[in-house]
Amino acid sequence: MSNSRPGVCTLVLAAGQGSRFRQEQDADKLLAHCERAANSRLVLESTLVALQAAAEQLVIVVRQDNLELLAWLDRVAMHFSAEILTVRSEGLGHSLAQAVSQYPARRGWLVALGDMPYVRPDTAQRVTEAIRPETLVVPVHRGQRGHPRGIGSLHRDALRALKGDRGAQQLFTQRDVVELQVDDPGVLLDIDRPEDLLQCSGATTAPERSASSRGRTALKP
Tell me: the pLDDT tens digits for 112-143? Answer: 999 999 999 999 999 999 999 999 999 999 99
pTM: 0.87
Residue 79 lies in a domain: yes
Q: What is the DSSP letter of 189?
A: -
Q: What pLDDT score does 218 carry?
A: 36
Within-domain flag for 123: yes
What does the pLDDT read at residue 148? 98
Note whether residue 16 is domain-resident: yes
User: How confident is the model at residue 158, as a pLDDT?
Assistant: 93
2 located within any domain: no
Residue 219 placed within a domain:
no
Distance (Å, whole) CA 109 – CA 6: 10
Asked, for residue 3, whether it belongs to a domain, the answer is no
pLDDT of residue 85: 97
Residue at 1 is within a domain: no
Name the stretches of the chain with pLDDT < 70: 1-4, 22-24, 36-40, 166, 175, 198-221
- Identify the domain containing residue 48 by its residue range: 8-212
**Who contacts 62 (Cβ-Cβ below 8 Å, separation ≥6)?**
14, 15, 69, 70, 73, 84, 85, 86, 87
Q: Given the DSSP bridges, would you call strands 82-87 and 57-63 parallel, antiparallel or unpaired?
A: parallel
What was the pLDDT predicted at 33? 87
CB 167 within 8 A of CB 221: yes
> What CATH number is associated with residue 116?
3.90.550.10
CB atoms within 10 A of CB 78: 9
Total number of domains in the chain:
1
Phi-psi region of 18 (alpha: psi -120 to 50; beta: other; left: phi over 0): left
Is 106 among the domain residues?
Answer: yes
CB atoms within 10 A of CB 65: 11
